[in-house]
Every structure is written in structure tokens, then in C-alpha cells.
Amino acid sequence: MMKFIVSSQLLFKNLQNISGIIVTNKSVPIVENILFTMEGMDLLLTATDLETTMTARVALSQAEGSGSLAIPAKLVVETLKTLPDVPVVFTISDEGNVEIVADNARYSLVGFSAEQFPKVPEMNDAKTFSMPVQHLCNAIGKTNFATGTTDVRPVMGGIFCQIEPERVIFVATDGHRMVKYENKCSDTGLTESMILPKKPLLQLKNVLQSMEGDVRIDFNASQVAFTMQSLTMVSKLIEGRYPNYASVIPKNNTNSMRVDRLTMLQKLRNIAMYSNQATHQVRLSITEKELTLSAEDHALASKAVVSMPCQYEGEDMNIGFSSKFLQEFLSNLDTPEVLFSLSHATGPGLLFPVCENPEEASEDILMLAMPVMLNTDN
């Protein structure tokens, strides 16, 4: 028999952190449970979807016995969700019957043998580096939206992580746009690379963004593990060769435009509904001091034109981009101003945040969008 007492809110928070990866699985229903394992005065919680495993260690107020049992995730999470912050008493019989007592209420449910639960994968021959938790969250948040679908090229559905001795680079692309995030304060001492799966990274970001400190990252040829405080996530890496992203970044974009980020974002949102819903094309007509944005849909005979000030150095230009891509780019930056670096109407456009002290910044962001062919009858 096992018996333990734990804070309801502490247990709920940790269950909530790891249960986000759980999915309905009719062929392997055991993964719809969370494995409870008593280890002395600690409770180890484990959740998995077979591709990713998350574990959390929770300190117990009192504990008797030891062992493991898989408990239905939805049932226990929803039960604890309704409770105030009170002590909860779990009593687990040798037969797998679970009794939960809290706040003058009693709940009974049945668990499943721990033998049925998938084993936590081991990290053999792992290499290790660390980076600030906030920088990892930024890397995920500022790249994940630019990933592609996994139907044709699975590697495009992941985020490429390039580890260099004094920096870590994260890249996402779908073939039409690309985001490159560089963290310059990670002293890794390594030269490696891996392709990280998107879904577990988003779950990790949701959990980590309320934490502070460094995240330890262990990886080998097939797996990666992220450890922060009492939480660990282990996930399979995506196999394959990532596209040579550096080769598509233009080096000769001599025209530069500086604009207010939020003003441009608001203008794009204002006219986006007038664009062709297949291409989402918006025309940028740029002169020395003015940017004119226009969108139209010939089939619906609709058109919208707005203007805003800009600071532009270069030849007057007309270039088309997807308004959807531009809105996502601008929404995922946080500086007051942004810089567009352009070459000509058919060349890739680059977008950078404008930092007050770029030489002191620990993070660099580059966003690239392929142009959309302009309608010649405009």
C-alpha cells in the first residue's frame, strides 16, 4: 500500500505542466494515464505520448510505502482543479484502488499497473549545454510559427538547432519564409546540430515561461532532454538533413526601410481582408519618406490603399509580400521599430528588429520572406 499527503495546488500545477502532451490513443490507452511513483518523500509524475515524455518531481508532506501506479490523467487533473489549496490524502491499495480525500470530500478510482506504462527513455552518450530559460522561450516563440507542414518533408515541420561554441541558432522555414534566432550568451563549447519537434517545444515553452534560471539541454543522435528545476522533458529528434538556410539569405540587399512596427502592423490588418485570399498579396510602394500599402482582389473588385511615414534609403521600389507573413513577422517582434532590407522586386526581403544598443544585445533575429509576384495591371 502507498499513502501520501500533498498540497492540492502544488500537485495540480505539476500535473497540469506535464499533462499537456497527453493525447487520446485508442491503440495504446495506457498513455492516457499519468504514472505516479513514490520515491521516499518525493512523488515522481510521468506523462508520455510515446514520442515525448515529461516528468515532474513533487515534494510530499507525508509519505508511507513506495511503488508506482498509472492513474487516469483527465480524472485526477479535473478533480484537483476544483479544489482550494488544501492538503490532499492519496491512499493506493496493492490492488490499484485509489482513494483521494480532500476538503471534506472523498473520491475513488481505479489505476493501472505500472508495468503497462512505457519506460522513460534513457539518454546515453549525451552531450550537454545550458541557456537561460527566457532565451529558450524566446527562441521557440519567435520561430515556431514559420515551420512548414510535415507531409512532404518532415524536417520542415521542426525547428533546426545549430550549436556553436559561443552561440546557439534556431531556424524555422516553410520554404516561403524563414526565421533565424541567434542567442549569443550561450557558452556551449560544442559544434553540433539537431532538428527539434515543434509540438513538444510549444508545450515546454508554456511550462517554462513562468520560471527563471538556466535550462540544461542534453542530447544525442536520436533524443533531446530539457531539464529545469524539478521538470524534465525527453523527446525524439526529427531525422533527416535540414535545408542549407544560410544559402538563401541575401548578402546584397542595399535598400533599407525603417518603420514603426505597430503602425505598420495595424495598417496591414486594416487592408488584409481586401487582398486575394489565395496569395494574401500586399503591395509595398516605397519612396524616401512614405510607404504605401495596397491590397486588392480582382475577382471581388475590392481594393484598399493606406500610407504611413518611413525612413528609406535606396531607389523607389514596388514589391509584393504575403500580408499574412508580414503580420506574423511584426507580431512576433517587440521593438518599437523594424528595418526592412531589400534588393529588388523579385529578391527575398529581410526584416530585423531595431535595437537601441545592438552591440550589447544577447539575441539577434532575422526574418526572411520570399516576394509575391505583383499584378502587372495594377
Would you say residue 204 lies in a domain?
yes
Q: Determine the Cα–Cα distance for residues 31 and 44; give it in Å rounded to an integer.
A: 16
Phi, psi of 364 (to 5 degrees): -120, 140
Indicate whether 131 and 221 sit together in one domain. yes
Would you say residue 121 lies in a domain?
no
Among 14-28, 49-63, 201-215, 347-361, whose mean pLDDT is lowest?
Answer: 347-361
For residue 20, give the CATH number of its domain.
3.10.150.10
* Domain end marker among 69, 89, 116: 116
pLDDT tens digits for 114-123? 999 999 888 8
Residue 360 has a pLDDT of 62
* pLDDT of 49 over the 70 cut: yes
Q: Kindly state the average pLDDT of the residues 135-161.
A: 91
Indicate whether 67 and 145 sit together in one domain. no
* pLDDT of 150 over the 50 cut: yes
Residue 149 has a pLDDT of 80
pLDDT tens digits for 350-369? 999 998 776 667 889 999 99
Please report where in the chains the cell 548578402 appears, as a residue: 251
Would you say residue 122 lies in a domain?
no
303-to-45, 266, 296 alpha-carbon distances in Å: 56, 17, 4
* Domain hosting residue 308, numbered range: 250-369
Residue closest to 120 by CA, chosen among 67, 47, 59, 68: 47
Residue 269 has a pLDDT of 96
**DSSP string over 25-64:** -SSSGGGGEEEEEEETTEEEEEEE-SSEEEEEEEE-SEEE
Which parts of 211-288 are beta strand (E)? Answer: 214-219, 223-228, 231-236, 255-260, 281-286
Q: Kindly state the average pLDDT of the residues 215-232.
A: 95
Indicate whether 7 and 105 sit together in one domain. yes
Q: What is the mean pLDDT of the chain?
A: 93
Residue 13 has a pLDDT of 95
Indicate whether 278 and 226 sit together in one domain. no
Would you say residue 377 lies in a domain?
no
* pLDDT of 378 over the 50 cut: no
